[in-house]
Amino acid sequence: MSEMRQAALDRVAKTFVRTSECHEAEESFDKLMSLGPLAGGLCLLICGESGVGKSTLVRWLTRNLKTFRDEAGWSRSVVCIQIPTSPTAIGIFEALLAALGDPKPSRGTRSMKKRRLVKMLRDQGVKLIVLDDLQHVVDRTSDRVIFDASEAIKEILIDCPVSVLCAGLADAERVVGSNEQLTRRHMSTVYLPRFDWQCKKSKHSFIGVLKAFESSLKGYDLPELLNESVALRFYLATGGIMDFVFKLFLFAAQIALEKKLSAIGPGVFAEAWKMAFLHSAKFENPFLGNVDVEQSVKDRIERAKRINLPPCMTLARSTGAKDRLRKVGL
Ligand SMILES: Nc1ncnc2c1ncn2[C@@H]1O[C@H](COP(=O)(O)OP(=O)(O)OP(=O)(O)O)[C@@H](O)[C@H]1O
Ligand SMILES: [Mg+2]
Ligand 1 atom closest to 243 (CA) = 12
Considering only CA atoms, which residue is closest to atom 27 of ligand 1? 50
Q: Determine contact, residues 175/145, Cβ cutoff 8 Å.
A: yes
Considering only CA atoms, which residue is closest to atom 25 of ligand 1? 50
Please state which of the ranges 81-95, 177-191, 195-209, 308-322 shows the lowest mean pLDDT: 308-322
Q: Where in the chain is the domain with CATH 3.40.50.300?
A: 39-191
Considering only CA atoms, which residue is closest to atom 8 of ligand 1? 53
Confidence check: pLDDT of 182 > 80:
yes
The mean pLDDT value for 209-234 works out to 96
* Fold (CATH) for 39-191: Rossmann fold (3.40.50)
pLDDT, position 293: 86
The overall average pLDDT reported for the chain is: 93
Please state which of the ranges 8-12, 93-97, 316-320 shows the lowest mean pLDDT: 316-320
Give ∠ CA 319-323-324 in degrees, rounded to 5: 60
pLDDT, position 330: 55
Model confidence over 109-124: pLDDT tens digits? 999 999 999 999 999 9
| CA–CA distance, 234 with 13 (Å, rounded to integer) | 18
Query: How much distance in Å is there from the Cα of 81 to the middle of ligand 2?
Result: 11
User: Which residues have C-beta atoms less than 6 Å from ligand 1?
Assistant: 15-17, 19, 22, 48, 50-56, 169, 242-243, 246
Exposure b/e, 242-258, CB count within 10 A at least 16 = b? bbbbbbbbbbbbbbbee
Model confidence over 255-266: pLDDT tens digits? 999 999 999 999
Q: Which of 17, 56, 80 to mutate to test the pocket of ligand 1 (most atoms within 8 A of CB)?
A: 56
Confidence check: pLDDT of 327 > 50:
no
Query: How much distance in Å is there from the Cα of 328 to the middle of ligand 2?
Result: 17
Confidence check: pLDDT of 328 > 70:
no
φ and ψ at residue 323, rounded to 5 degrees: -65, -30
| CA–CA distance, 15 with 1 (Å, rounded to integer) | 21
Query: How much distance in Å is there from the Cα of 6 to the middle of ligand 1?
Result: 22
Please state which of the ranges 39-43, 158-162, 309-313 shows the lowest mean pLDDT: 309-313
Considering only CA atoms, which residue is closest to atom 13 of ligand 1? 243
pLDDT, position 310: 77
pTM for the model? 0.92
The mean pLDDT value for 18-24 works out to 94
Confidence check: pLDDT of 103 > 70:
yes
Confidence check: pLDDT of 160 > 60:
yes
Distances (CA, A) of 17 to 63, 215, 272, 319: 15, 11, 21, 35
Considering only CA atoms, which residue is closest to atom 5 of ligand 1? 16
Confidence check: pLDDT of 326 > 60:
no
Q: Determine contact, residues 120/102, Cβ cutoff 8 Å.
A: yes
Give ∠ CA 122-128-131 in degrees, rounded to 5: 115
Ligand 1 atom closest to 60 (CA) = 1
